Amino acid sequence: MNIIISNHSNTPLYRQIKDQIKRCILTEELKEGDALPSIRKLANELQVSVLTVRRVYNELEEEGFVVSQAGLGTFVSTGNIEWLRDTKRREAEKDLLRAIKTAKSLQITKDELHEMLDILYEEE
């Protein structure tokens, strides 16, 4: 797991870390049952406060991405990864529906919208 944070980003540090860990879980770079680094270890690696990492782990646990076991550590949650992926797909669908409504209001054709999506997808 390679987490890169930027002090120049408008996104708070804890959010940058959390989003990257979630991405690692959803793309199966981190698999169900894998251990996450200890709070102290990750804080040292990223040169952030242990409170920042604790917040990340707590929020990931609240959202069902990880489970903490006292004395053992924090692990990628087992059993609900597919549900989490589906939740993310639904979020993407909502965003796409908003884009479609905007495109229709601006009289952008479906073909033009596809072309825009292809270009933006490749650039990302």
What pLDDT does residue 114 have?
92
One-letter amino acid for residue 14 of the chain: Y
Sign of dihedral through CA atoms 111, 94, 86, 3?
positive
What pLDDT does residue 90 have?
87
Positions of the chain with pLDDT lower than 70, given as ranges: 79, 81
What pLDDT does residue 5 have?
93
What pLDDT does residue 27 have?
84
pTM: 0.68
Cα gap 37→5, rounded to integer Å: 16
